[in-house]
Each structure stands twice: as structure tokens, then as C-alpha cells.
Structure 1
């Protein structure tokens, strides 16, 4: 049932063209907002990407951006400030969501 709700929520968000935003910060805020990607660290040396799980479970996903640590993700920002994340995000606990982030849009696997 949760996956069905997530599917319709994603379609609804896309239909409304709800835009995501990218925010740079020195420290992760205590309270995060939906549809917001937080890049923590320096602009030329970010070390963490954090955002709320797009399935709606409310969990905060934190992805390591440091090359020296594993697992590690990479991000790419384009001129319109949309974000692409490599590789995919696959939660092994909780909701077990698996998705790609391409140009700030969630692509479910």
C-alpha cells in the first residue's frame, strides 16, 4: 500500500511541477524541509548530501560525498541548480526505497 501511495504522490508532485531546491550549508539543519537537498560542507569540498526520503516515510537520508570513504556518492549541479546523484539510492532498512535522482527528479527503480 505504501509503494502505491508513493507512486501516486510522485506523479502528483510531477504534475504540479513542485520544484526542489538545493541549499548549501555548513551544518545540517535540525529541521529539514521536503523537496530540499542539503549539501553540507564547502562549495568546492562538500562532504554530505541530505534530504528527506521521497517515499514519504519521513526518514532523513544522508549520503557521503567524500571520495576517501565508502559508500560514496557523487553529485552534479547544472546551471538551473537541479541536482543529479550517482549511483542510485537504495535503502536497505526502513521503507527499502530504491531510486535515482536525475535533475532533481526522483526516478523509481
Structure 2
């Protein structure tokens, strides 16, 4: 019974975070064709993830894929506060398209200064 309550509480918190505009993590084995807004997809299996993906938060609709493979450069790290609110490190700096530059910290996008 406590396990069921914990799962229900976790789902309720995920719903609240989505309503508040925070990003949440979705663990998947394969990247879906269409990514949902405010979701970070951790792609891998058995708790070992090699790719993080999300829709660009600027609204351009581009899919951003970030390698999390150790030893590969560039490489990002995905961490979660209380197993819910994701942070990605280092910042995401798109050099093509919309040229967005931002951090994802504890489920919230933090924009970097505009390009000069």
C-alpha cells in the first residue's frame, strides 16, 4: 500500500510541475517521433541513459538531442532533484536555427544573455 501511495503522490507532483511550467523527465528506450513540451526524454535502458532530448523552449519546435555518453564531447549530464525536477549541465547553446542559449535548472528554463 505505501508503494501505491508513493506512485500516486509522484504522479500528482508531476502534474503540478507541468501545470506550473516546470520540466519533468520521461525515461524511454526509444525517442518518440513527437516530443511533448516541457518534457526531457532520457533515452536508454535499465537506468543507463545515453541521450537527453527536448523540444526547444523558444517555441521554434526544433528537437534538441544531447549526448550523455561518457568520454564523448560535447557531453551533458542530467540530474534530478527529488527524482522529479531535471537539470542539464552544461548550458544548451544552439548554434543553428533559432540560436537559443539557455540552462535547464531544477525544471526551469533560465535564458542566457542575447547573442551580440
Query: TM class, shorter-chain normalised?
Result: 0.7 to 0.9
Helix, strand or coil for the counterpart of 1:33?
A: coil
Larger Rg: 2
Q: Secondary structure at the match of 1:39?
A: strand
User: Could you say what the CA RMSD is over the residues aligned between the two structures, in angstroms?
Assistant: 1.3
Task: Give the equivalent residue in structure 1 for 2:111.
Answer: 108
State the shift of 1:90 in Å: 0.2
| Unaligned runs of at least 5 residues, structure 1 | 1-15
**1:9 aligns to what?**
none
Q: Which residue of 2 aligns with 1:53?
A: 56
Q: CA contact under 8 A between 1:40 and 1:49: conserved in structure 2? A: yes
TM-score by length of 2: 0.76
Mapped pair 1:42 → 2:45: yes
> Within the alignment, does 1:87 sit opposite 2:90 as a pair?
yes
Q: Find the counterpart in structure 2 of residue 97 from structure 1.
A: 100
Asked if the contact 2:21/2:108 (under 8 Å) is kept, the reply is no
Q: Give the structure-1-normalised TM-score.
A: 0.81
In the TM superposition, what whole-angstrom CA distance separates every residue of 1:35-62 from its partner, at most 9, and x where no partner exists?
A: 1110000253210000000000000000
